[in-house]
Amino acid sequence: MLLSSYIQEAAKELAELRFGKSEGSNLLKPLERMAKDPTLLSGSHGGRAIFRSPSVFAQFFLTQPACPSLNVGGSFAVRKLAAELIRPPVFHILVLSKANVVLLRCAGFHTQPVKLPQGVPDTLVEALALEPPDHDLEGRSAAGSAPGALHRIRFGTGSGREKEQAHLAGYYRLVDRALQTRLREPEAPLILAGVEEDTAIYLHVSACREISRKCITGGFDIPREQAAILRQAYSILHADSLERQYKRLLTMKERITPSRWSTDPVAILRAAFDGRVDELYLDEAAERVDMYERGAFRSWGREDLLNLAAVQTIAHHGKCYQLPTEMMPDGSVAVGIMRF
Q: What is the pLDDT of residues 90-116, one digit of tens each?
A: 999 999 988 889 999 999 889 999 888
d(Cα 315, Cα 209) in Å, to the nearest integer? 31
Cβ–Cβ under 8 Å, residues 70 and 302: no
User: Could you give the CA distance from residue 179 to residue 92 in angstroms, rounded to a whole number?
Assistant: 10
Three-state DSSP class for residue 24: helix
Which of 219-228, 286-295, 328-337 bottoms out in mean pLDDT, i.e. has the lowest? 286-295
pLDDT band at 150 (very low <50, low <70, confident <90, very high): very low
74 versus 221: the higher-pLDDT residue is: 74
Instruction: Look at residue 66 in the predicted model and tell me its pLDDT.
Output: 85
Max Cα-Cα span within the chain: 109
Residue 87 near residue 314 (C-beta atoms within 8 A): no
Q: Which domains does the chain have, with CATH numbers?
A: 1-73 (no CATH), 91-242 (3.30.420.60), 256-340 (3.30.1330.30)
At 56, is the pLDDT very low, low, confident or very high (cuts 50, 70, 90)? very high
Cα-Cα end-to-end distance for the chain? 48
Please give the Cα distance from 232 to 217 (Å, whole number). Answer: 10
- Residue 135 pLDDT exceeds 70: no
pLDDT of residue 88: 93
Segment 20-34, tens digit of pLDDT:
889 999 999 999 999
Please tell me the distance from the alpha carbon of residue 245 to that of residue 291, in angstroms, as a whole number. Answer: 27
Give residue 146's pLDDT: 46
Mean pLDDT of the 198-203 span: 96
- With beta carbons less than 8 A apart as the criterion, state whether 311 and 76 touch: yes
- Which amino acid, one-letter code, is at 295? G
Say yes or no to pLDDT of 119 above 90.
Answer: no
Please, what is the Cα angle at 235 between 174 and 175, to 5 degrees? Answer: 5
Q: Residue 340 in contact with residue 276, Cβ under 8 Å?
A: yes
pLDDT on residue 291: 60
Torsion of CA 40, 41, 42, 48, to 10 degrees: 50
Mean pLDDT, rounded, of the chain: 86
Give strand pairing partners of 193: 95, 216
Question: Could you please report the per-residue DSSP string of 196-229?
Answer: HHHHHHHHHH---TTB-S--EES---TTTTHHHH
Percent of the chain with pLDDT over 70: 86
How many residues make up the chain in this entry? 340
133 pLDDT more than 60: no
Return the pLDDT at 141: 41
1, 28 contact by CB (below 8 A): no
Rounded distance, CA 326 to CA 130, Å? Answer: 52
**From 26-30, 50-54, 114-118, 196-200, the region with the lowest mean pLDDT:** 114-118
pTM of the model as a whole: 0.83
Which residues are bridge partners to 58 per DSSP?
Answer: 51
What is the rounded CA–CA span in Å between residue 177 and residue 2?
50
